[in-house]
Amino acid sequence: MPTAQTAHPVSVRGLSKQYGEVHAVRDLSLEIHQGEVFALLGPNGAGKTTTVDILTGVQRRTGGEVRVLGRDPAEDPREWRAKIGVVPQTAGAYADLTVKEIVTHFAAMYPAPLPVGEVLDMVGLGGQHAKQATALSGGQQRRLDVAVGVIGDPELIFLDEPTTGLDPVARREAWELVRYFAGRGRTTLLTTHYLDEAEELAQRAGVVIGGRLVECGPLASLGGRDTTPANVTFRRCAVLAERSLPALPPGTEVVPGVAGTVTLRTPVPSQVLGVLLPWAREAGVSELAELRVHRPTLEEIYLNLIDRETVACP
């Protein structure tokens, strides 16, 4: 069903993909904003790669409406293809060409590619430009995949597990490449299993489980992360052992725990600290031992979402 061109680089409504009786993607809807890095998260087999394949025109959808840079990817027009860059989860093996020859070959397919040497330097392969691709290590091969995917200076970049197999230094270099394109106003869709990578790079994220988009929003508030009560924990020293706790803010509760340690679950951790610290000072204690304020991490929220959806859809 044709629609007017959307202002969003990616707009998906009711996307579905079915293989016989198997539903790889179910009624998935999302929009990706211009210039943002959007992370698509989910366990293996959740439907992330299938979704990316549909958005890049590699697979045909079963149902729904999809617009990528204002066009239907199923039409796969040449001028549209030149505006997107794709780094797939697994890339095909290259012939016995050098690194520079391969990237130069792909650069020739685009109307306004980036300089080959510049891209090779960006992915950390400048010193390997004369090396045959078949002689590269696994991590170097992944860097070459990234170089091929971005050489055309795309408006929209799809990175499907781009740092899998890379060592920590190479991962950070890949992150800088994402930031480089974000600084140029490019839009990036990133799939990753590394939650620290998503937090480092993305403004928003969607969590796909069982082919469904179960959560979507800014990283800081994903799954109610910003409103989930925090735990304020400290260890009672001898001076405080016999003192009753001060009057606590509304909604704060004492959580049973290890003897000698106090854990308070509260929606207002700053207010709790505001009464605890004067209470301790009145007893001559300037520092609360082992004081810690903990809100759920992205990993905890993510794992809770998976557990919740697994129970709901066994």
pLDDT tens for 207-254 read 999 999 999 999 988 888 888 899 999 999 999 998 999 999 999 999
The predicted pLDDT at position 1 comes to: 38
Q: Retrieve residue 135's tokens.
A: 């002689």
Mean pLDDT confidence for 264-290: 95
Q: Which residues contact 147 (CB under 8 A, 6 or more apart)?
A: 99, 103, 119, 120, 122, 123, 125
The predicted pLDDT at position 310 comes to: 66
- Distance from C-alpha of 38 to C-alpha of 158, rounded to nearest angstrom: 10
Number of neighbouring beta carbons within 10 Å of residue 140: 20
- Distance from C-alpha of 9 to C-alpha of 170, rounded to nearest angstrom: 28
Can you tell me which residue has the tokens 């170089």? 147
> Hey, what's the torsion of the CAs at 26, 32, 37, 39, to 10 degrees?
-10
- What is the rounded average pLDDT for all residues in the chain? 90
| Whether pLDDT at 111 is above 70 | yes
Give Dmax over CA atoms of the chain in angstroms. 77
Residue type, 178: V
Per the confidence metrics, is the pTM higher than 0.75?
A: yes
CA distances from 88 to 92, 162, 169, 237, 249 (A): 9, 8, 21, 55, 51
- Distance from C-alpha of 142 to C-alpha of 128, rounded to nearest angstrom: 13
Mean pLDDT confidence for 272-279: 96
The predicted pLDDT at position 29 comes to: 97
